[in-house]
Amino acid sequence: MPQLRLTLLLLIISTVAAAAQSAVPQLRDITVRPSGSTATITLLFTGRVTTVVVEPKGNGVAQVRMKSVRADEKALTSAVVKPGLRSVRAHIERTDVLVANVTFTQTVASMTVTKRDSVSVVVLVKLRPNSPASAATTSAAKPTKKESSKTAPDEPPDTSPKAGNTDNNTADNRTDNALSRKRWALNTIIIDPGHGGKDPGALGIGEVKEKDVTLATSKKIREELKKLMPGVKVLLTREDDAFVELYQRGQIANKAGGKLFISIHCNSMPEKPHPASGFECYILRPGRSTDAARVALRENSVIQLEYGQERYAGMTTETTIMAAMAQSAFARFSETLAQRIRESVRTTDILPDRGVHQAGFLVLVGASMPSVLVELGYLSNEHDAELLGSKTGQRSLARSVAKGIQRYAQEYEAIIKEQ
Ligand SMILES: [Zn+2]
């Protein structure tokens, strides 16, 4: 049986090789969140990265170099939809050195690694407005900063007001404005049907499953949006009863160049039947009420079903707060979007209005765009569950949600045109 022995040996070798390879951290995602005079670059990995070197390279380029990492083609490309950002490019150099170049529209003044744990590297970038004088000296004057200690150096956040030199509107800037207007056009909307596959979500009265309600309603929202906003692309993070991990949902949205992310869910109380009833919207911010925290805890608990859930290991309250701060560039938009959706549902009187709340939803952490999580109603409530389980109920909710999104889009387009 030499044939079999050889096969076994090859199998063992390839298994060992795969194990050795899997010990090398792999890049999962790069997100950049510009916010005024600072920006946060977050690189997510499957394991701890040991060597990180950050360096401003001039012409608005912030460079992060990391040794002994892997990355596949998918992780190296990133959709850029944010103002203040020109591009995000990453490539592997000399087999295991990952080089990420993030190009901002402003000058990169300094870079600091603010966090490095078993799943992530976070770099704080300080920016300053471009001026002819500073542009010439940028590339030469900035020091290289090497970071290899276990705990990242803690630099206080820059709170000093920057002298915003806004009247340097050269022809270059005008081209930038036109480009960023195009980049900002609300042309792609991501609807995220919560749960799916092995994760049924909440189980309601009358055997109604959250994963079925979210998928059916999301598809109806897409249909309604197609009618209301014909030129806009509407994508779902899942089209069928598939299990999609939380972090992937944001990635799908980012890679598709999504301009809005709306995650669809159903609420539930631990005991049923329960009188709690109604429609709620959530935006990502550290929870202020125990009720909101309970909802976030339930929606986040799906990670227990995910393979490689350790990627969320650093996603403590602190990380959520950081992510929420990084998302602050979109906070105003997320809040307005939530309000418009809420108002639209309220006027139809389908379900009681329970307002807009804030909590730390992991699914909203990864999407680099205005994002809202909708809890359509309570599956633990007899009336809500019946409505949510019915096609007509789903249709009227979908229509209201879509109208709210349309209202937001109209206001948004008006703002963009003014700029
Ligand atoms: Zn849910």
Token pair belonging to 111:
């870079």
pLDDT of 157 reads 32
Distance 318 CA to ligand 1 centre (A): 23
Distance 312 CA to ligand 1 centre (A): 18
Distance 409 CA to ligand 1 centre (A): 25
pLDDT of 43 reads 85
Distance 204 CA to ligand 1 centre (A): 12
Average pLDDT over the chain reads 78
Distance 83 CA to ligand 1 centre (A): 31
Distance 13 CA to ligand 1 centre (A): 42
Distance 69 CA to ligand 1 centre (A): 34
Query: Residue 211 pLDDT > 60, yes or no?
Result: yes
Distance 266 CA to ligand 1 centre (A): 5
The pairing of strands 97-104 and 85-93 is antiparallel
Distance 257 CA to ligand 1 centre (A): 24
pLDDT of 287 reads 58
Distance 224 CA to ligand 1 centre (A): 22
CATH architecture assigned to 25-133: Sandwich (2.60)
- Give SS3 for 195: coil
Token pair belonging to 401:
């949600």
Distance 17 CA to ligand 1 centre (A): 39
Distance 196 CA to ligand 1 centre (A): 10
User: pLDDT tens-digit profile of 303-357?
Assistant: 777 766 666 655 555 555 555 555 566 778 899 999 999 999 999 888 999 999 8
The pairing of strands 279-284 and 233-236 is unpaired
Let me know: does 304 contact 414? Beta carbons within 8 Å: no
For the chain, domain boundaries = 25-133, 185-418
Distance 406 CA to ligand 1 centre (A): 24
CATH topology of domain 185-418: Aminopeptidase (3.40.630)
Distance 185 CA to ligand 1 centre (A): 29
CB atoms inside a 10 Å sphere around CB 264 = 27
Angle (CA) 150 153 156, round 5°: 155
Distance 142 CA to ligand 1 centre (A): 47
Distance 389 CA to ligand 1 centre (A): 15
Distance 229 CA to ligand 1 centre (A): 27
CB atoms inside a 10 Å sphere around CB 415 = 11
Mean pLDDT of 110-126: 87
Distance 41 CA to ligand 1 centre (A): 29
Find how far residue 391's CA is from the centre of its chain.
30
Distance 188 CA to ligand 1 centre (A): 23
Let me know: does 383 contact 291? Beta carbons within 8 Å: no
DSSP annotation of 104: E
Which of 3-17, 172-186, 286-300, 333-347 has maximum average pLDDT?
333-347
User: pLDDT tens-digit profile of 136-168?
Assistant: 333 333 333 333 333 333 333 333 333 333 334
- Give SS3 for 174: helix
Which of 52-61, 116-125, 396-405 has maximum average pLDDT?
396-405
Distance 380 CA to ligand 1 centre (A): 13
pLDDT confidence tier of residue 358, bands split at 50, 70 and 90: confident
C-alpha to C-alpha distance for 118 and 311, rounded to whole angstroms: 8
Distance 320 CA to ligand 1 centre (A): 18
Looking at the DSSP assignment, which residues form a beta bridge with residue 40?
Answer: 33, 124
Give the alpha-carbon dihedral of 407, 408, 411, 415, to 10 degrees: -160
Distance 347 CA to ligand 1 centre (A): 24
